[in-house]
Structure 1
Amino acid sequence: MKIIEIKNIVKSYKLYDKPADRFKESIHPLKKVYHKDFVALNGISLSVEKGDAIGILGRNGSGKSTLLKMITGVLTPTSGEIQVNGKISAILELGAGFNPEYTGRENIYLNGLMMGHNREKMDEKIESIINFADIGSFIDQPVKLYSSGMFARLAFAVSINVEPDILIVDEALAVGDTRFQTKCIDKMKDLKRSGTTILFVSHASEQVKRFCNKAVWIKDGKIESVGESSEVVDRYEDYMRNDTNSSEEMKKPPKVEVVDPDFILPSNPDILALITKVEINKTAFKTFDEMNVEIEYEVYEEIIDDLLLGAAIYTPNREYIFGPNTFLEKISIPNDMGRHKVKYCIPQIPLLGGTFCLDVGLFNNEGLVNIHYKENSVSFTITNKYFSEGLVYINHNWEVLK
């Protein structure tokens, strides 16, 4: 059953150099044009089935948010048609739909009303929404006093507790702390299992790959690729790796927290676990040498459910070579409070030559939530006498047939 049908959508804007040019254009007797046309979306067609979880990928300015705003009715298309068969709950911008002078509690009722729920219906849901938001006494303070994190908590709490047919999430997870991200992902999984259709925008492509069954890549206002999430994500990441115009902001390494060598609980309760040490058996290898990496990490919760450890090999240009994790390979790692150590072993490394680095990360929720990530935690080189060409050695044979 198609719950959203988008047919040849175009959205264009008139851009003026000065506000007065808009008025000049409207009254000019010869219809002189003062504007430039900007096409944000150009011929988008897409069908969404009931129960789909669709990830939407694309660089900033590609048209992702414009598309979602037209699906929700916030924007109208310049041309084309959108049919939506169901009740939408959307988190598009922090604070959207909130009256800054109202308290959090009053805004819950306001948002419920906008979604078609009367006060009696919201009375039934108010406590579960407040508990989910978990912002304490601020629930009875004007939302103009809220931080971006509080906005995200309240917006998410309202949107996913009103039984929507369609949930739209546009980068809202990016401002939440790790603990809240985990709670949101768990709730989104419940909605997904119950048949809710989810449209999910995230720059964290691994979240799209693991949470969504389908994905759409929008490039310069057009659909570049649509299909199974893992395939579309791989195409998108390959493009981003090789695109020389990629945002420098996306290339910045993440901040790395520092902890005391002795096991001490951090003062920040949002730090759930940290990778504290990564050691490699040597830094100069030959092809087919054994590589051993010891990864030490600390857990600051009694238990972190679904904790997984990943390791990924990259070239210095951030070309992704190989990245297994313990969840995919059904390996359980210690997830209780304390210091733990895991060894990652490649019995015969097949790389032919060059310099490489290893990223290490702790995640949970099947890799959807990043708890701690260390980019370029160790580096190493591969050298050998010439015996083949390329990046990796692949077992093979030759056979003369004639």
Structure 2
Amino acid sequence: MSTAVEVINLSKKFHLYQDRTQTLKEMIIFWNRQKMEDFWALRDINLSIPRGATVGLIGRNGSGKSTLLKIISRILYPTTGEVKINGRVSTLLELGAGFHPDFTGRENIFLNASILGLSRRETERHLRDIIDFAELEEFIDNPVRNYSSGMYVRLGFSVAVHVDPDILLVDEVMAVGDLAFQKKCLEKINEFRRRGKTIIFVAHDMSLVQRICDYVVWLEHGEIKAQGRPGEVINRYLDLVASREEERMLQEKEKSHGQSEWNEGETPTDQDAGDKHEQYIITDQTDPPARTNRWGNHQVEITAVKMFNHRGKESYSFECGQPATIAIHYIMHKPVSDLVFGIGIFRDDGLHCYGTNTDIDHFEIESLPPKGVVECQIQSIHFLEGRYFLDVAAHTKEGIPYDYWTRCLEFSIFSRIKDVGVARLEHGWVVLGNSERALLKNKIWRNKEQ
């Protein structure tokens, strides 16, 4: 198979100035005193993209994805190395790149098409298709400075795909615009794939990359971290993202709660407990104080709350469907006989997603040591991707709070599957014959196998 794009020992360096001058006079006076350091956006990139392949570039922001596309499209030039291209290239890298704000949409079609290598006669032949695809018939003769961002990208994408390139470079364009236009873009991408065009695009939507890519390149700090089949590379990338999210959430939890909790194994004195809980101890258990997120009569005290992942490691980032454990550390200052522990989970918009307690689950607590840990072990945390907050409580069976702690910690959920709603339900799809109720085994799909 012939090669469409070949990147050989490519590196790109930028100069970063530490002292930013504000005026032309300052630039002239202090030009030789400015502190400058080198920043390597790309280092030693070697990549061979076969003709007709659809390649996704993934990685965190700042990893060098857009820089690589700009070098392939000749917008930027490498510091070292080279790029060999076989075929006409069409690019859509920046919103409205190549548009003149005072020109009309029609005039910008001719301007942008000429930049992409189309003659005026070729542009005239495709003009009607470009306008129809962009859905801008009513506005095509208005200056594009009056266009919305969605209109901008629709016009730019329409020009780019109607150039009929051999190689199409796209940078996050399918994340812009309404759902109908995104669907149209995806259909056009699939049409290009069927026609054997080469497509290289940057995307943060891993489900999209998984669906349409033949090959994935993962960039990290300007270097190729991994490349290969989409499933393998994406899973490695998401594992790293999850690990970093765990570390970030753990650090945030330590910052926000480190000074408000006693160290594990340390027993507070009566004076410590009084000082610490003075702001939320109440005598009337009907209405908690509005100025705090804790209240109760302090006979049983929750001293710390932690979460652990399926590996037993403290974590505040979980993958949808994985196990999670909530550990509630407590101290009983006075013996109690009707103790109930409970949890509540809320989405960051305040939606109450789930709540339970030991009484609801008929988990009888007959005798407890004066100090210990109660764990709620969740076999599969099936909430969808997002930020969540946890409430914990120790109270009587009648609901009188010993210690009620709202939003005691934050955790996040990430998912490799883009469902919508609140929770992911275990489900499957089956096909039944017209006159039979048996499952057709060759046409069954179950989400747990994904």
For Structure 1 versus Structure 2, the TM-score category normalised by the shorter chain is: 0.5 to 0.7
1:84 aligns with 85
TM-aligned CA deviation for residue 135 of structure 1: 2.3
- Over the matched positions of the two proteins, sequence identity in percent amounts to 40
Contact 1:9 1:41 in 2 (8 A): yes
TM-aligned CA deviation for residue 55 of structure 1: 0.5
TM-aligned CA deviation for residue 23 of structure 1: 6.0
Write out per-residue CA displacement over residues 336-369 of structure 1, whole angstroms, 9 at most, x where no aligned residue: xxxxxxxxxxxxxxxx953512439xxxxxxxx9
**Aligned 1:233-382 pairs, distance under 5 A:** 233-244=234-245, 317-321=317-321, 353-354=378-379, 356-359=381-384, 373-376=420-423
**Aligned 1:45-64 pairs, distance under 5 A:** 45-64=46-65
TM-aligned CA deviation for residue 12 of structure 1: 0.9
Deviates most, 172-181 or 33-42: 33-42
TM-aligned CA deviation for residue 236 of structure 1: 0.9
One-letter code aligned to 1:171: E
SS in structure 2 at match of 1:139: coil
Contact 1:200 1:208 in 2 (8 A): no
Q: What is the TM-score of this pair, normalised by structure 2?
A: 0.56
Inter-CA distance 246–163: structure 2 relative to 1 (3 Å threshold): farther
Inter-CA distance 105–236: structure 2 relative to 1 (3 Å threshold): same
TM-aligned CA deviation for residue 167 of structure 1: 0.5
Tell me the distance in 2 between the aligned counterparts of 1:200 and 1:357. 31
Bigger CA radius of gyration: 2
SS in structure 1 at match of 2:421: strand
2:165 aligns with 164
TM-aligned CA deviation for residue 377 of structure 1: 6.2
Inter-CA distance 25–46: structure 2 relative to 1 (3 Å threshold): farther
Tell me the distance in 1 between the aligned counterparts of 2:237 and 2:96. 30
Q: Alignment RMSD, CA only?
A: 2.8
1:312 aligns with none
Inter-CA distance 27–319: structure 2 relative to 1 (3 Å threshold): closer
1:74 aligns with 75
SS in structure 1 at match of 2:55: strand
Tell me the distance in 1 between the aligned counterparts of 2:32 and 2:382. 63
Tell me the distance in 2 between the aligned counterparts of 1:25 and 1:86. 46
TM-aligned CA deviation for residue 247 of structure 1: 8.8
Inter-CA distance 91–219: structure 2 relative to 1 (3 Å threshold): same
Tell me the distance in 1 between the aligned counterparts of 2:235 and 2:29. 48
SS in structure 2 at match of 1:232: helix
Write out per-residue CA displacement over residues 69-120 of structure 1, whole angstroms, 9 at most, x where no aligned residue: 0000001111111111111111101010111111111111111111222111
2:193 aligns with 192
Tell me the distance in 2 between the aligned counterparts of 1:237 and 1:35. 35
2:119 aligns with 118
Tell me the distance in 2 between the aligned counterparts of 1:6 and 1:234. 25
SS in structure 2 at match of 1:191: helix
Taking CA–CA contacts closer than 8 Å with sequence separation of 6 or more, which of the two structures ends up with the larger relative contact order? 1
2:10 aligns with 9
Contact 1:316 1:357 in 2 (8 A): no
1:221 aligns with 222
2:133 paired with 1:132: yes
Deviates most, 109-118 or 176-185: 109-118
1:41 aligns with 42
Tell me the distance in 2 between the aligned counterparts of 1:356 and 1:11. 43
Contact 1:16 1:22 in 2 (8 A): no
Tell me the distance in 2 between the aligned counterparts of 1:117 and 1:355. 55
TM-aligned CA deviation for residue 25 of structure 1: 8.4
Write out per-residue CA displacement over residues 276-334 of structure 1, whole angstroms, 9 at most, x where no aligned residue: xxxxxxxxxxxxxxxxxxxxxxxxxxxxxxxxxxxxxxx97331448xxxxxxxxxxxx
Tell me the distance in 2 between the aligned counterparts of 1:197 and 1:122. 22
TM-aligned CA deviation for residue 149 of structure 1: 0.6
Contact 1:358 1:378 in 2 (8 A): no
TM-aligned CA deviation for residue 244 of structure 1: 3.5
One-letter code aligned to 2:420: Y
TM-aligned CA deviation for residue 15 of structure 1: 1.0
Write out per-residue CA displacement over residues 371-391 of structure 1, whole angstroms, 9 at most, x where no aligned residue: x72244689xxxxxxxxxxxx
TM-aligned CA deviation for residue 235 of structure 1: 1.1
Q: What is the TM-score of this pair, normalised by structure 1?
A: 0.62
SS in structure 1 at match of 2:162: coil
Tell me the distance in 1 between the aligned counterparts of 2:242 and 2:18. 35
Contact 1:3 1:86 in 2 (8 A): yes
Tell me the distance in 1 between the aligned counterparts of 2:134 and 2:189. 15
2:357 aligns with none
Inter-CA distance 378–206: structure 2 relative to 1 (3 Å threshold): closer
Inter-CA distance 27–208: structure 2 relative to 1 (3 Å threshold): same
TM-aligned CA deviation for residue 136 of structure 1: 3.4
TM-aligned CA deviation for residue 16 of structure 1: 1.0
SS in structure 2 at match of 1:318: strand
1:295 aligns with none
Unaligned runs of 5+ in 1: 249-314, 323-351, 361-368, 380-402
Contact 2:59 2:220 in 1 (8 A): yes
Inter-CA distance 317–178: structure 2 relative to 1 (3 Å threshold): same
SS in structure 1 at match of 2:16: strand
Tell me the distance in 2 between the aligned counterparts of 1:23 and 1:219. 37
TM-aligned CA deviation for residue 217 of structure 1: 0.4
How many aligned positions are there?
Answer: 272
